[in-house]
């Protein structure tokens, strides 16, 4: 059985507790930092939208463009990222729904 550790991540000032593999923690935290920065960018660029719209826009961008900052293809993290984004989207939908 895989050992998972619980961590708290923050998406647009809301905290979510998820369980991940210990070796994935640094990558998850880096990605969440980038997602939050992108949400702030969208808030600045598209004033007047709902917070859920900004979150959805950021998650869609990451789901459709799995290569993140640095411009290097990370084929090994793409499936990992997609899985985490889907779980995060599910958590957000439950919280907002």
User: Using one digit for the tens of pLDDT, what is the confidence trace for 14-32?
Assistant: 899 999 999 999 989 998 8
Specify the number of domains making up the chain: 1
Position 91 pLDDT exceeds 90: no
Q: What is the mean pLDDT of residues 76-89?
A: 71
Position 71 pLDDT exceeds 60: no
Domain residues for 10? Answer: 5-96
How far is the CA of 15 from the CAs of 2, 32, 63, in angstroms? 24, 11, 21
Position 78 pLDDT exceeds 80: no
- For residue 44, give both structure tokens: 């600045």
Hey, is 75 helix, strand or coil? coil
Q: What is the mean pLDDT of residues 78-94?
A: 76
34 or 85: which leads in pLDDT: 34
């Amino acid at each position: 059985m895989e050992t998972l550790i619980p961590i708290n991540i923050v998406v647009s000032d809301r905290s979510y507790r998820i369980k991940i593999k210990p070796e994935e923690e640094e990558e998850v935290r880096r990605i969440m930092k980038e997602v939050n920065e992108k949400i702030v960018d969208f808030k600045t660029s598209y004033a007047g939208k709902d917070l859920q719209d900004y979150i959805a826009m950021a998650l869609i961008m990451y789901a459709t463009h799995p290569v993140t900052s640095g411009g290097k293809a990370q084929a090994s993290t793409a499936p990992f990222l997609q899985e985490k984004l889907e779980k995060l989207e599910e958590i957000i939908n439950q919280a907002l729904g």
